[in-house]
Amino acid sequence: MLLHSIRSLSIALLMAFTVLGCGRDGQGENRAVAQAPPAVSVSTPVRREIVEWDEYTARMRAVEEVEVRAQVSGQLESVEFTDGAVVDEGDLLFVIDRRPFVAELREREAQLKQAEAAAVNARTQFQRGSRLRKSRSISEEEYILRQTASQASEADVQRAQAAVEAAKLDLQFTEVRAPIGGRISRPFVTKGNYVNGGSGSADLLTRIVSLDPIHAYFEASERAFLKYMRLSRSGERPSSRSVRNPVYLRLADEQGYLHRGYMDFVDNVLDPNTGTMTGRALLANPDGLLTPGLFARARLPGSGVREALLVPDAAIGSDQTEKYVVVIDADNKASFRTIEIGPIVHGLRVVREGLSGNERIVISGLQRVIPGQAVTPTAGDIDVKPEPLTPADAQPVEVAATEGVD
């Protein structure tokens, strides 16, 4: 109603100005100018096969991130890596004073030898008792005692062997090695300090993050999540849970979406606090440019490949929440047409509903047009800009099974 009222008021004002102009003597030229139809540029909407790309803010995170902690306690003897360097799995990072652990291992080995000697003696006594039992030279009670003593001594040997193995492990743990390959941080504990290890309160020594590949996490709104679900059910766009939909990233200092990856995870619940669904993409990062913690703009297909009508934003008028274009009929008269718009593609606005594509619409001079008024149309051109991503870029990504992430 408000839109029609505004349009009616515009027509009434124009008629009043026309009457006033006609009432002036000697102003024939002014009357002719006032009555001349306004000149406008017109064109039919552009038809293109497009994909509507949805854009999100993403944050880079390492696929693997490890907090390196000591598994034994002791004085830190040396740091064996360069701060911020790239390390390989198994590289030596820290050395803890070995001497107490060497002494512990020697003591455990001595206890093992002692237990083995006691076991040999107990076994010999048991074997002798078995022979004496046959000749009834010892009682049944004595035989059982020797048998029990032999079994206990074997158990003592096994306990001593386990203690030796544990001591060897503790000695091995004095060399703290990289559990994964990647870029290492700085040492959080320096040489000469005592470190606690082997418990939940073990000291953090450093961190390592993997580099290639890398993850990009982003949050999609509830409305976007429902859109993807409905597109999947209709067959227009497959779900990222079932196929590897492509994802393209642009860093803060880049002009185009230069980094290509694919969706490899969609969470199973929406965050009740934010009403968003977490999605994740996996990208190759051979040069290490994509660093954990970086922000990026991520694009992924928000629709299937379809034909769309595109018009310039300058051709679209607004009346509160309504959007409209001005259509010129065969008699060159203007009328308003309410439309539903979509995103920007090729520098133009997608028109979802309201146009068939054969209409002539005003693309320049919109402010001079009044509904029902005749205009003087001239053919105009709509500038179609190249898109960084094409419909072909929206095809699911084919990767080898070995490239997937568990």
Mean of per-residue pLDDT scores for the chain? 86
Residue 145 has pLDDT above 70, yes or no: yes
Q: Which of 224, 249, 257, 208 is nearest to 90 (CA)?
A: 208
Q: What pLDDT, on the 0 to 100 scale, is given for residue 170?
A: 92
pLDDT at 211 over 90: yes
pLDDT digits (tens, 9 = 90+) for 253-262: 998 899 999 9
* CA proximity to 354, closest of 323, 387, 384: 323
- Quick one: average pLDDT of 210-234? 94
Confidence of residue 371 (pLDDT cuts 50, 70, 90): confident
Contact 210, 179 (CB under 8 A): no
State percent of the chain over pLDDT 70.
89
Whether 2 shows a pLDDT value over 50: the answer reads: no
| CA 259 – CA 250 distance, rounded (Å) | 7
CATH fold of 64-97+174-209: OB fold (Dihydrolipoamide Acetyltransferase, E2P) (2.40.50)
What's the longest Cα–Cα distance across the chain? 155
pLDDT tens for each residue of 310-361: 999 999 998 888 999 999 999 999 999 999 998 889 999 999 999 999 999 9
pLDDT of residue 229: 94
Which residue in 195, 33, 174 sits closest to 96, CA to CA?
Answer: 174
Q: Check pLDDT > 90 for residue 10.
A: no
Matching CATH topology for 2-7+37-50+306-387 and 53-62+217-290+297-302? no
Domain boundaries, the chain: 2-7+37-50+306-387, 53-62+217-290+297-302, 64-97+174-209, 100-171
- Quick one: pLDDT band at residue 200, thresholds 50, 70, 90? confident
Nearest partner of 247 among 260, 266, 231, 264, judged by Cα: 260
CATH number, span 53-62+217-290+297-302:
2.40.30.170
Q: What is the pLDDT, as a whole number, of residue 388? A: 87
Confidence of residue 368 (pLDDT cuts 50, 70, 90): confident
CA distance linking residue 209 with residue 213, whole number of Å? 11
Which pLDDT band, with edges at 50, 70 and 90, does 33 fall under? low
Mean pLDDT of 20-41: 60
Average pLDDT for residues 232-252, to the nearest whole number?
Answer: 93
Supply the pTM of this predicted model: 0.75
Measured between its terminal Cα atoms, the distance across the chain in Å is: 58
**What class, spelled out in words, does domain 2-7+37-50+306-387 have in CATH?**
mainly beta
Query: Residue 360: what pLDDT?
Result: 94
Which letter does DSSP use for residue 203 in this model?
A: P
Residue 14 has what pLDDT?
Answer: 44
Mean pLDDT, rounded, for 271-286: 94
pLDDT number for residue 83: 94
- Is 2 or 379 the better-scoring residue by pLDDT? 379
- 3-class DSSP assignment, residue 139: coil
Q: What is the pLDDT of residue 400?
A: 56
Are the C-beta atoms of residues 57 and 218 closer than 8 Å to each other? yes
Neighbours of 133 (CB within 10 A): 17
What is the percent of the chain with per-residue pLDDT over 90, rounded to a whole number? 62
Q: Which of 384, 383, 380, 316 is nearest to 44 (CA)?
A: 380
* pLDDT, position 23: 43
172-192 pLDDT, tens per residue? 999 999 999 999 999 999 999
* Cis before 272? omega within 30: no
Task: Band the pLDDT of 67: cuts 50, 70, 90.
Answer: very high
CATH of 100-171, one of 3.40.50.300, 2.60.40.10, 1.10.287.470, 3.10.350.10: 1.10.287.470
Read off the pLDDT band of 367 (50, 70, 90).
confident
Higher pLDDT, 139 or 258: 258
Q: Following DSSP, what letter does each residue of 12-44 receive, concatenated?
A: HHHHHHHHHHHTSTT-HHHHHHHHSPPEEEEEP
* Structure confidence at residue 366 (pLDDT): 84
DSSP string, 360-387: EEEEE-GGG--TT-B-EEEE-----PPP
The whole-number pLDDT of residue 22 equals 45
